[in-house]
């Protein structure tokens, strides 16, 4: 499988949260799966940290999160950005819209618990 993590899924993995379903944990840990972290998620984490809305250890180098978690980084390209134009406005969050566009462009299953993502024609990972 080729999986793209929503920001909350990345944080749940990183913080070993009980919110992360066991089926997700197994899929993310499996060497048979390619797991991607979008630059949009790193950007979102950076903004939330700077606003004091997200607490991570002060020494946490968020730029290295994908590598440290043994995931692949997915840059945000002009093609991804342009793809957001055609998306319906089910979601106003620009980070989530970018993740949907990347998932569609790169043919990745999106790992997300956000119910608003179901409104898009994106392949969501259901843990199976």
This prediction has a pTM of 0.94
| CA–CA dist 3, 35 (Å, integer) | 5
pLDDT score of 31: 95
Q: Is residue 34 part of a domain?
A: yes
**Beta strand ranges found along the chain (DSSP E):** 2-5, 34-38, 72-74, 109-111
How many domains, in total, are found in the chain? 1
In a domain, 46, yes or no: yes
Q: What is the CATH number of the domain that holds 84?
A: 3.40.50.1010
> Which residues constitute the domain of residue 6?
2-119
Q: How far apart are CA 127 and CA 42, in angstroms?
A: 23
User: What is the structure's pLDDT at 11?
Assistant: 94
What per-residue confidence (pLDDT) applies to 61?
A: 87
Classify residue 126: in a domain, yes or no: no
pLDDT at 105: 98
**Residue 49 maps to a domain:** yes
Give pLDDT tens digits for 35-67: 999 999 999 999 999 899 998 776 678 999 999
pLDDT score for 117: 93
Q: Is 128 inside any structural domain?
A: no
**127 in any annotated domain:** no
The predicted pLDDT at position 81 comes to 97
pLDDT recorded at residue 127: 74
Residues of the chain with pLDDT under 50: none
Question: In this predicted structure, what is the pLDDT of residue 128?
Answer: 60
């Amino acid at each position: 499988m080729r999986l793209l993590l929503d920001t909350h899924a990345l944080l749940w993995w990183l913080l070993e949260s009980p919110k992360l379903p066991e089926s997700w944990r197994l899929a993310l840990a499996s060497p048979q799966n390619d797991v991607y972290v979008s630059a949009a998620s790193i950007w979102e984490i950076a903004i939330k940290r700077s606003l004091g809305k997200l607490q991570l250890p002060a020494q946490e180098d968020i730029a290295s999160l994908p590598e440290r978690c043994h995931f692949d980084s997915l840059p945000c390209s002009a093609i991804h950005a342009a793809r957001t134009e055609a998306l319906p406005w089910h979601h106003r969050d620009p980070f989530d819209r970018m993740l949907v566009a990347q998932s569609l462009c790169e043919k990745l299953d999106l790992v997300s618990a956000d119910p608003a993502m179901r409104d898009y024609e994106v392949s969501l990972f259901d843990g199976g």
